Amino acid sequence: MTRTDSQNSRIDIMLITIVLIPVLLGALSIVLPYKKIRRGILVAGSISHLTLTVILGFMRNNAYDTGDWIGLDNQGLLFLAITSILFLMVSIYTAGYLWRESDRNVEDSVEGFYFRNEPERMFIACLLFFLATMSMVCISRHMGLLWVAIEATTLVSAPLISFHKHHRSLEATWKYLLICSVGIAVALLGNYFMAFAAHQEVSLNLDKLIGNAGFLDQKWLKASFLMLLVGYGTKAGIAPMHTWLPDAHSEAPSMVSALLSGALLNCAFLGIMRSHSILFASGLGDFSGGLMVFFGMLSIVFAAAFMIRQTDYKRMLAYSSIEHIGILTLGAGIGGIAGTGAMLHAVNHSLTKGMLFIISGQILYLYGSKKTSDVHNIAKTTPFTGIFWMVGFLAITGTPPFGTFISEITILYGIIGAGRWGIAAGYLLGLGVIFIAMARIMINMSFGGNLNSRIIEKLKELKGVPLWYTAPVIIMAFIILSLGIYVPDALFRFLANAAGLTGGL
Amino acid sequence: MTTWIDIFLLALVLTDFRLLASSRLGAIIQTTVFQAVSLSACMLLMAVRPISIYIIALSIVTFTVKGIILPWLLRRAMREADVQREVRPIIGYSASVLIGVVLLGLSFIIFMPMKETVSGSAFLMPGALFTTLTGLMMIISRKNALTQVAGYLVMENGIYAFGVILAVEEPLLIEMGVLLDVFVAVFVMGITVYQISREFDHIDTDRLSELKD
Amino acid sequence: MDMKLFGPVIHILLALVISPLLMGIINRTKAKFAGRKGQPLLQPYYDIIKLLRKGSVYSTTTTWVFRLGPVAGLSAMIIAILIIPSGGINSLLSFPCDFILMAYILGVARFLTVTAALDTGSPFEGMGASREMQFAILAEVVMFMGVAVLAVGTGKISLSSIYYTLWDSNFTNIAPAVFLVALSFLIVLLTENARIPVDDPNTHLELTMIHEVMVLDHGGVDLALIQYGSCLKLWLFSSLLAGMAIPVRTGIMIVDMGINTVGILLISVFVGIIESGMARLKLLHIPQMLLAAFSVTAAAFLWVLR
């Protein structure tokens, strides 16, 4: 494929625009004094981001200038698209949420004290900056730039977690900030080691590194990958570096949890994939893949262990994220068809988890408790929420006919195809345990127990289910369902190509 | 020339010991200034002659960020949170120093075989690794949130020292990006520490233990 | 007389004659800093002479161990002085690994002082003995580490040859390491000689003292021997420190000897300045200070290994 220079520069400009638009809108939302406009800006920003992403997807082709700092390959486009769609869904929900929550003293759901939220302008600005930094991660073609972008995602998302200003959210923010910053610092060390591996002659440009892969020093490269895996793995929530994740997800407002799980973890995972692709190109794919399989398996086991006796449904969802990142890492580590499955799984998981977190936000609002023992009979109180909570349950545990089933089966097929029977058994066992654990919690929440009089009072105030909540949920559920029924050939080829850099099919 | 680089690196190693041994936050913050001096000096000394304007600029920016702005931010956070010292560290100061000696030895053993692969000083990589580990030690073994932030800064310094080797070849943009990120990180951490101190009346991170399974 | 022996003999004579002067200089410096006129420079001599004229009183609970302490302590110091070089000038008693002998002679002296103190059965003296041993253990490690740095740096293994070649060939190569060793040696000097900030010889408060509390029960001639012994010990450490801190080796014996002696006197002034400027550390902090000295020597060790 060839392309002209003008086409090339046009894509570059668009890539810069896709980062700049949220940044500018974010700055605007800090300056503007009007609440409604600010919320409008949020939605407008996400719509324009998605539009640009779609246009880029069609304009782009696979050839690169090897000196480019930024560019969009299939992997990048995939994760950019996921981020963009999820962010649109979340921004719609957020606009409504802020309208409901604005300017009131909020009662804490756990301890009953009152607190105030963070100023809305900072919150919206940080959301938009968050989008910008995540887009930056997806379009980086330089390991150094990638690092800068991933670290930036931590910093702009920290204020999001402490949106509700109280002691638990501050504790979660602190853990998130410190653990992730230290992790990312380790990844920086990995980047420097990568440069040593290149004998300080090849720059950290991804394409140049892959192009000169045979020339890289293997000892340094191995050390580098280990650092990068641990570093970005901390951010991605891979066990045993996951400790910040349940705290942050349970204390952050639900839409932030949705973004953290659905978009941020993916971005960090993209960092791991990029590193893996370099090692793969230099013939060390077995080493890096092996490590990824190990950590992926470990994450599934950890998640299963902590989900069995979980009493907090937001924490349960957080551990489920650890599990699914584990599955992604495992699939990508195995490579081949499992790599393609992992890419598909990234789409499915992000949308499913986004949906579940948004629903969990609504449940928290209705029931005023994060304890599973306090939430009963959702299906009867609010049928919409109850039904989609169950849909989410079926989807997240990989039950047909949802997309996660297809992707998990694809990964299993890949594992068996690679002859890793032990891994396959462990994978199935882990998924089984998690299915049972989640079923016990979520089915009980949907159908078990009696109606609570307080809830009925609250329902009367509510006057129906708002559209800003139902629309994103229905759209996301629709996408996962359709991906479960039919994966278009073109999409599959695209995913396979995205996984191709790291030995996918 | 190599000797001078080594002397600055030796100073870096000695500052690490001071960090491990001191309980006063003021002393710790002051020590990070010395580290910044040592880092930016190494950067200048290692550059290929004639020194390019980029290296000079980078070295000045490095010193400005790590030696002036960040210590200032930390001092401010220290005043606002009204803490002076680490009261009861998880690992005592004597033990920290002893562990430090062991870590220093380990750093040397690790990089001994790689002496030849790196241009310039044989002290650089071990010194950088030791500084990184010192920072990590401070984060793990201290309870005071601000000491931990300082530890993060020290760890960054150590990693940055690895980057000094590359500063000659790597584009300025990345180093600047790294500095910017560290700056914002310390800034955000400082704000969080302030909020924690207002909410809790203390900044002992071991007492932030409500969230757990 | 063989010219080779001339230098070492002069050094020993100097040590024996001048060493009490060091104490006088320290006291005088402190007095100047405090704005006092201070005692005469030769006061330590007068004290020793006065004590020598007095008789000793021995408690009935003590045994010969108590009487052995001062005599053995002094003789050990004199032997140790035989081993150390004066700057670049060889010592009388020089052989490979002689610093081990020196360290252990100092150890023997300490052992006998401690047993003498324990022999009195006084709780204060026992306490002092225990502290003395605790700090000595740490100081000894630092000292050995320091000498090891110098030995590796110069490639020699006897004190005399180490000091002889210290500033010769690869001056620039090991200078930072020698500087660090000198720094930690200063701390060892302060610890071993019971100076501020480790110990305050003038407090007269048994609870806070380390070294002085051990010799409370000695009097008369015994006390004179002890005081003279501690002057020699100060000379010994000062001489080792001056030898590495002052990088001048002219090759002319008299000049070198003079420079080293001046260096020793300057170190006394310096110790006096330190004592004027600092307070005594908490007992708990003294091991930390020695640990710091240890870590500094460890860094120096890696420097010479690099």
Question: Measured between CA atoms, how close is A172 to chain B, in angstroms?
Answer: 8
Query: pLDDT of A334-385, one tens digit each?
Result: 988 999 999 999 999 999 999 999 999 989 888 888 888 888 888 888 889 9
Domain count for chain B, please give it: 1
Task: Locate the chain C residue with the closest alpha carbon to B114.
Answer: C306
> CA-to-CA distance for A117 and A123, rounded, in angstroms?
9
> CA-to-CA distance for B212 and C54, rounded, in angstroms?
75
Beta strands, E only, A72-214: 106-107, 114-115
Among A114, A168, A174, pick the best mutation site for testing chain B contact (most B Cβ within 10 A): A174
Residues β-bridged to residue B24: B85
A148 at the B interface (CB within 8 A)?
A: yes
pLDDT for B179 equals: 85
Residue C7 structural domain: 3-305
User: Is B7 part of a structural domain of the chain?
Assistant: yes
pLDDT for B101 equals: 92
CB contact under 8 A, B101 and C294: yes
Which two three-digit tokens encode residue B121?
Answer: 């000083």
ipTM rounded to 2 decimals: 0.93
Instruction: Using a pLDDT cut of 70, give the percent of chain B over it.
Output: 92
pLDDT for A154 equals: 92
Closest residue by Cα to residue A449 from A373, A371, A388, A363 = A373
pLDDT for A200 equals: 67
Q: Is C126 in contact with C217 (CB distance < 8 Å)?
A: no
pLDDT for A66 equals: 52
Instruction: Using a pLDDT cut of 70, give the percent of chain A over it.
Output: 93
Residue B204's SS3 state is strand
Query: pLDDT of C60-94, one tens digit each?
Result: 888 999 999 999 999 999 999 999 988 778 888 88
pLDDT for C146 equals: 94
Region A408-414 average pLDDT: 94
pLDDT tens for the 306 residues of chain C, in order: 466 778 888 889 999 999 999 999 999 999 999 999 888 999 999 999 999 999 888 888 889 999 999 999 999 999 999 999 887 788 888 888 899 999 999 999 999 999 999 998 888 888 889 988 989 989 999 999 999 999 998 888 898 888 888 877 667 778 888 999 999 999 999 999 988 888 877 776 767 777 888 888 888 899 999 999 999 999 999 999 998 888 777 778 888 888 999 999 999 999 999 999 888 888 888 888 899 999 999 999 988 887
A408 at the B interface (CB within 8 A)?
A: no
B1 at the C interface (CB within 8 A)?
A: no
Which two three-digit tokens encode residue A45?
Answer: 């920003």
Residues of C in contact with B108 (CB under 8 A): 302, 305
**Chain B from 116 to 155: CB within 8 A of any A CB:** 117-119, 132, 136, 139, 145, 148, 152, 155
Query: pLDDT of B104-152, one tens digit each?
Result: 999 988 887 776 555 567 788 889 999 999 999 999 999 999 999 999 9
Region A61-66 average pLDDT: 54
Among C282, C286, C288, C306, pick the best mutation site for testing chain B contact (most B Cβ within 10 A): C306
Q: Chain-wide mean pLDDT for chain A?
A: 88
Residue B103 structural domain: 2-206
Which contacts qualify for C126-132: CB closer than 8 Å, 24 or more apart?
A: C127/C206, C127/C213, C128/C206, C128/C209, C128/C210, C128/C211, C128/C212, C128/C213, C128/C214, C129/C214, C131/C210, C131/C283, C132/C210, C132/C211, C132/C214
Distances in Å between the alpha carbon of C12 and those of A54, A469, B202, C216, C264?
92, 95, 61, 29, 14
Region A453-467 average pLDDT: 73
Domain count for chain C, please give it: 1
CB pairs under 8 A between B and C: 51
Distances in Å between the alpha carbon of A472 and those of A136, B197, C207?
25, 38, 76
**Whole-structure pTM value:** 0.90
Question: Measured between CA atoms, how close is B171 to chain A, in angstroms?
Answer: 8
Closest residue by Cα to residue A343 from A428, A260, A406 = A406
Query: pLDDT of B45-86, one tens digit each?
Result: 887 777 788 888 888 999 999 999 999 999 999 998 888 888
Region A85-92 average pLDDT: 95
Nearest beta carbon to residue C292 from set B10, B17, B108: B17
A185 at the B interface (CB within 8 A)?
A: yes
Residues of B in contact with A306 (CB under 8 A): 213
**Chain B from 50 to 109: CB within 8 A of any C CB:** 93-94, 97-98, 100-101, 104-105, 108
Residue boundaries of the structural domains of chain A = 284-505
Specify the range with the lowest mean pLDDT, choosing from A399-413, B14-28, B174-188.
B174-188
pLDDT for A4 equals: 56
User: Is B211 part of a structural domain of the chain?
Assistant: no
pLDDT for A504 equals: 46
**Chain C from 250 to 289: CB within 8 A of any B CB:** 287-288
Distances in Å between the alpha carbon of B212 and those of A72, A356, A467, C146, C223?
40, 22, 35, 49, 66
Which two three-digit tokens encode residue C181?
Answer: 């060793």
Place of tokens 């010592």: C91
The number of residues making up chain B comes to 213
Residues of B in contact with C292 (CB under 8 A): 17, 21, 97
Question: Measured between CA atoms, how close is B52 to chain C, in angstroms?
Answer: 28
pLDDT for C2 equals: 61
Which two three-digit tokens encode residue B117?
Answer: 């692969």
Nearest beta carbon to residue C296 from set B14, B94, B105: B14
> CA-to-CA distance for A334 and A312, rounded, in angstroms?
33
Query: pLDDT of C149-159, one tens digit each?
Result: 999 988 888 98
